[in-house]
Structure 1
Amino acid sequence: MSVLAVGMAACSDTPPPASEDREPLGVNYSTGDPAADSSDEWTLGTTDTITAVDPAGAYDFGSWNLQYQMFQTLVSVPANGSEPEPDAASCAYDDPQTITCDLDEGLTFANGNELTSSDVKYSLERNIAINDPNGSAILLGSIIDDSNPDKPVLAKGAVETPDDTTVVFHLNKPDLTFLKVLSTATASIVDEEVYPANKELADTDEHSGSGPYVLAQYKDGVQATFELNENYAGPHPGIAPRVYVSYYKDDASLASDIKKGAIDIAWRSLSPTQQQGLADDGVAVLKGNGSEFRYWVWDMNEGAGTEAAVRQAVAQVLDRDQISANAYDGTVTPSYSIVPPGFGGQKDSFMDVYGDPDVDAATALLEDAGVETPVALKLGYPQEHYGPNAVDEATEIAEQLNDTGLFDVTTETGEWEQYQTDYKKDAYDLFMLGWYPDFLDADNYLSPFVVDGGFFANGYSNDEVNTLVDEELAETDEAARDEIIGQIQDIVAEDVPLIPSWNGANIAAVGEGMGGVQDTLDPTYIFRFWMITKS
């Protein structure tokens, strides 16, 4: 099957008080009311944190989910779909290295400025030039001139704008996933008259996109207020006139507020205990297909992680079933590959290489390499960013490793934004990260992770892996591509630059009268405000 068949077809700053006498809903794990033609305003509660409102400054789903409401992309993935469809433009591959996009006529930003092909090129160019270490410019590698890695720029001729409504991409290599990249918040279209070329717009400044909603007010860590964009001309018009997002420090407060009706939706992240408690209290808990991935990254720049035998020995003794049972009450699925189940070419390579946990095998690995034991390891994990069970997982892993007698493990936590800086400065030997796919393709669990240190800059580089990644990106035969993806997973399991831990579902708790929530709980983890209604 040729992948080239991918051508496109086709305000107040506080919510009103909640009623204290609302009747609880019955438990519902699989359905949700359909969206309606009209809606009251509603409130989403989340423990997600925001790195930056500006699309050039963030690579996390808390930030991205704000940006998806505010900014258009050329194409977007529909709920429960996997292939991009037209958004601000209709796009198609001319060949594996060329994409042509035709912008819709009459697009404007919320401030009234016209949206043209020049804005599209500018948006991508500034994202690359700013190159924020917490940003996602790495996804734009196929249009980057990386001859100077310290100061990447848009490659000459990579993006052409022959007229105001046409954008042509000339990729530096065959890349049949780039159209999906253009559906992510990385490719958010910003107004070149508003956003500086070489620095990010502050969160407190006025942001103007062409998406279905406008960010009317924002207070970091407290609340975001969205209002309908009256100038929106895209395919996803919002229904609710106003949407609030309330940010919580912990899931206990989040669960408490959804139960008493202070918020309408609780999403990301409720612990297994809180999910069950809400269900027991009659709150509807909806479960959608998910592709959440939790993993641990080795620092291979310095310290214990530079020794392959140490990395392999940890992989040899890690008991994922116990992580799931003891840290997550069995609500997550043990992961044995960096590519989750359901994606083309996925295979459980870590199980194939290491089998069940085996202390004797780990001991032999260390002895054969002449590694003295116990090996001192510092495990890092972010406080709150991945929910309250992150500490349970870190504690479980530390106890498992210490119980072997082969390791002397300590744990350390940090606030999310500082944590991102610290792990890139070699603060931990092994550190926790989570992944929600930028787009639904196996490569999104490969290129950002294993090509020359990945987005987390952990020092890993394998020429064979780099070559194979280029091959799978260019391969148009599905079976052949799946074979290459399998080879990459096998090599990663041998090299162990990171260790997969578990995969999880997409879960939300909802209050009375909410519609459309179930439909947006899909593997993309895009929470589509424009689909949600409250009656």
Structure 2
Amino acid sequence: MKKLFIVFFTLGLVIFGGCGEKKSKEKEKLVFAQLSDPKTLDPQNSTDNYSQVAITQIYDRLFEIDEKNGTPVPSLVESYKKINDNILEIVLKKGVKFTNGDSLTAEDVKFTLERAKENPKVAHLYKMIKDVKVLNNNTLEIITEEPFAPLLNHLSHKSSSIINKKEVLKNSENYFNNPVATGPYKVQNWALGDSITLISNENYYKGSPKIKTVIIKAVPEENSRVIGLETGEIDMSLDIPAISWEELEKSGKAKVYSAPSTTTGYVGLNTKSPTLSNKLLRQIIAMAIDKESIVDTIYLGKTKVANQFLAPPVFGYNKDALPQEYNVEKAQQLLEENGLVGTKLKISVSSPERVQVATIIQDQLKKIGIDLEIELLEWGAFLSQTGSGNTDMFIMGWGPSTYDGDYGYYPNIHTSQMGSNGNRAFYSNPKIDSLLELARKENDIEKRKEYYKEIQEILNEDVPLIPLYHGNVVYGVNTNLKNVEATGYPEFYKYEF
């Protein structure tokens, strides 16, 4: 009997010891879910959120944004100073290595910024840069044509993520499939359309991440992301619908982390479409949309009705701005008086949640005599469709990660950015273009605010965009995952189980 007990005891140690070993290994792997997989790992060719989640982990930038106050703080930069209004001197941190062992140099920074300036998607962020002058391996000057107020903020943008000049020139075709960079993670495997697996950069200059493997997985269905959190198949998820917050908290398996974000959810109106080129019709549509009902019904009051395109944390936000008028009776009257009853339109969306928003708008417009068809598209197809102008309306969100009004407005409404570069409303107004250019050159904070105030007043009149709500950044998180905050992009290297 004693012998039998020893056998079972020993066997139990083996079994449970094995489970413990397996559990320990699993604690170094994090599965992160979002609506779509990355479309590219080329930082200078990306403006979509789902690609930038991965880009944030793989690369570093000269500056990052302190989200508590919206100001840029040094990252790869040891020190910096303004020589004059047009020259910024930067000294890089020493000892920063790329994943192939190369040291970060000023030449890599120069190469990155010059490459960004050439890409139409993000060139507007850097077009004021006249020259990048390398003084030595660790020191450079960024010279602008004129004073450039948001320069430091723009140097925190994901498109300014530093790439390895030598490796890009050696293998430009394949570099961005498995980038050589300085960030906390590097690519192990990328299954296009499904997931990307990242492994830790053990030589990361801020210290080796405790989470050794991160799988960023595309999970388009909202319910699947919630169920995955409840079953433990998913450790952390973006895009958690408000209706599921309480359910997750009650499960005891996950917590919801939420904070006000820079994002504004909005309806875009294609001003070049034959129907919506009519400004009066755009104004009528804006009058007929009850934003409050959308916030209360879909977001359960957890977001705020938008009074303008910029969200409260973004520089240039005007707390006193008046939102576009909501007046169903007036909208219906104007529609009838101008022979617009029976107008047919199509609205494109990219997620089930936005289908719900579109359905409410569809019902509201139907009441005044406008028929709205809803089209649900996969994220990549949605970007292509709206970028080419093949829809009347669309629902989207825009959150300037730089926390500056320039990146809030410029890509979305400047004439030069029409189409897939950002201005999906195909809106053009010379006065708006002029104000945007003046605002980015103006170092006086109060004068810059006045420019952005005037821009919003013109937008309220022209209605290329209808701001619906100021959103939150929301994560559903496994209760065992520590050090998580509701930041604009997940910071996996700071987390641990």
Task: Quickly name the TM-score band, shorter chain normalised.
Answer: 0.7 to 0.9
Whole-angstrom CA distance in 1 between matches of 2:432 and 2:221: 39
Distance 1:286 1:424, change over 3 A: closer
Partner residue, 1:263: 234
Q: Which structure 1 segments of 5+ residues have no match?
A: 1-16, 23-38, 144-156
User: Which of 312, 330, 340 is the matching residue for 2:301?
Assistant: 330
Cα drift, residue 436 of structure 1: 2.3
Equivalent residues in 2 for 1:91-490, closer than 5 Å: 91-131=80-120, 135-143=121-129, 157-195=130-168, 201=174, 205-233=177-205, 235=206, 238-266=209-237, 268-282=238-252, 283-347=254-318, 351-352=322-323, 354-355=324-325, 357-366=326-335, 370-382=338-350, 384=351, 388-405=352-369, 407-452=370-415, 454=417, 455-490=422-457
State which structure, 1 or 2, has the greater radius of gyration over its C-alpha atoms: 2
**Alignment deviations for residues 511-530 of structure 1 (CA, whole Å, 9 cap, x no partner):** 23211112xx13xx121112
SS at match of 1:195: helix
Query: How many residues are treated as equivalent by the alignment?
Result: 469
Kept after mapping to 2: 8 A contact 1:437/1:444 = yes
CA contact (8 A) 2:60 2:75 kept: yes
Deviation string, structure 1 residues 417-439 (Cα, Å, up to 9, x no partner):
12212112221111122112221
Contact 2:341 2:368 in 1 (8 A): no
Structure 2 residue identity aligned to 1:91? Y
Encode CA deviations 1:74-95: one digit per residue, 9 max, x unaligned: 1122453422222222333333
Q: Which residue of 2 aligns with 1:6?
A: none
3-state SS of the aligned residue for 2:428?
coil
CA offset at residue 349 of structure 1? 8.0
What TM-score, normalized to structure 1?
0.81
2:493 matched to which residue of 1? 530
Query: CA 1:273–1:367 in structure 2 vs 1: closer, same or farther (change >3 Å)?
Result: closer
Q: CA 1:66–1:401 in 2, change beyond 3 Å: closer, same or farther?
A: same
Change (3 A) 1:312 1:335: same
Q: Which moved more, 1:341-350 or 1:60-69?
A: 341-350
Do the aligned partners of 1:137 and 1:186 also contact (CA within 8 Å) in 2?
Answer: no
Other-structure match for 1:8 = none
Segment drifting more, 300-309 vs 120-129: 120-129
Report if the CA contact (8 A) 2:261-2:311 is conserved.
Answer: no
Counting aligned pairs with the same residue, the percent is 24
1:237–1:102 CA distance, 2 compared to 1 (3 A): farther
Separation (CA, whole Å) in 1 of partners of 2:172 and 2:391:
29
| Contact 2:413–2:425 (CA under 8 A) maintained in structure 1 | no
Q: RMSD across aligned C-alpha pairs, in angstroms? A: 2.7
When the two structures are superposed, what TM-score results if normalisation uses the length of structure 2?
0.87
CA 18–434 in structure 1, closer or farther in 2 if over 3 Å, else same = farther
Which amino acid in the other structure matches residue 135 of structure 2? P
How far apart, in 2, do the equivalents of 1:361 and 1:278 lie? 43
In 2 relative to 1, CA 528–475 (structure 1 residues): closer, same or farther, beyond 3 Å?
same
Where relative contact order (Cα < 8 A, 6+ residues apart) is larger, the structure is 1
Paired with 1:73 and 1:137, the residues of 2 have a C-alpha distance of: 17
Q: Distance in 2 between matches of 1:172 and 1:251?
A: 47
- Partners of 1:18 and 1:284 lie apart in 2 by 26
Structure 1 SS opposite 2:104: coil
CA distance in 1, matches of 2:436, 2:85: 15
Deviation at 1:202, TM superposition (A): 7.0
Change in Cα spacing, 1:307 to 1:79, as seen in structure 2 (3 Å) is closer
* DSSP-derived class of the 2:167 partner: coil
Q: Which residue type is aligned with residue 221 of structure 2?
A: D
Deviation, structure 1 residue 280: 2.5
CA distance in structure 2 between the aligned counterparts of 1:458 and 1:512, rounded to whole angstroms: 41
Q: Which amino acid aligns with 1:452?
A: T
Q: 1:349·1:493 contact (CA, 8 Å) conserved in 2?
A: no
Indicate the SS of the match to 1:479: helix
- CA distances 1:271-313 after superposition (whole Å, capped 9, x unpaired): 1222222122223222223232111111122321211101111
- Three-state SS of the structure 1 residue aligned to 2:402 is coil
Q: CA deviation at 1:371?
A: 5.0
Contact map agreement 2:266 2:468 (CA 8 A) in 1:
yes
Q: 1:336 Cα shift?
A: 2.1
Deviation of the 1:190 alpha carbon: 0.8
Counterpart residue identity of residue 230, structure 1? E
| CA gap 1:426/1:509 in 2 versus in 1, 3 angstroms | closer
- 5+ residue gaps, structure 2, are 1-17
Aligned-residue offset at 1:484:
2.3
| Structure 1 contact 318–401 (Cα < 8 Å) conserved | yes
Report if the CA contact (8 A) 1:337-1:348 is conserved. no
Deviation at 1:457, TM superposition (A): 4.5
Mapped contact 1:126–1:197 kept (Cα < 8 A): no
